[in-house]
Structure 1
Amino acid sequence: MKLDAEIMFDCLLYINAFYYGMFFSCNFVMTTSKYFSVVSTPDIERDAAVTFTLLAIEFLKLIVYKKYKEKYRGISSTFVILMNFGTLACNFYMLKLMSPVLKLEKLLSILLVMLSSCEIFFGALQPWFKKKPYYT
């Protein structure tokens, strides 16, 4: 079986880029509505900081990879893998430590955890499954 980890990694980041707009808008609206809610939400400042840190990490990851993947393939892939650990940490906070969590927040966080885990897996496989050039 021939595995092309590089194409899988690119496809996962393409799915992440497609998914980011919905993820950003939903999390932004949910956090803002929690902040202005009549019902008091404990630690809303910390929850908002973690949410916006997660959004910034995802945005930075997608921009850096898109800009530098052709020129610096290994460095940009390593950067994405390291940023995914930050994404997983923020999602761990959102799933386990945040007290009032909406069902949509849980669903989006679980989807992002699965996507980030697959990105880490296929990103780590890239050095072992390098494509051989057809012409040389």
Structure 2
Amino acid sequence: MTTRTFKVVKSDAQWREQLTPEQYQITRNHGTERAFSSPNFDSKLKGTYKCVCCDRPLYRSETKYDSGTGWPSFYAPIEPEAVFAVEDRSYGMLRTEIKCSDCDAHLGHAFPDGPPPTGVRYCMNGNALVFDED
């Protein structure tokens, strides 16, 4: 897989035109969907999960697992450079926000309680992802 080196930059109006209201709220305003409500949160299909905003491949189904949280969870991105972490101190908590490297879309959060081999749970909003079946 080749690391991409460009940034997708759009105006707020362009993002609103491209995305559904829920996708916009999650990816551009750091929202969170209700647990167990997102597309593909419990899917067992094989394929690639991509950023809904810019189509960057982020996660493979082989790294997806049932975390019991109600959100799609992965133990690793396709490549480390696909996403980046930001300190999130919202709601009086300290969390690690995960964003798309190509367009800065809010995807979800990472927690240190995941399975081997990484021990990280990438807890993503399903509405921030599109799924391409193999």
Based on CA coordinates, which of the two structures has the bigger radius of gyration?
1
**TM-score class, shorter:** under 0.3
- Using CA pairs under 8 Å that are at least 6 residues apart, name the structure with larger relative contact order, 1 or 2: 1
Return the structure number with greater helix share: 1
The TM-score normalised by the length of structure 2 is 0.24
Q: Which of the pair is proportionally richer in strand?
A: 2
TM-score when normalising by structure 1: 0.24
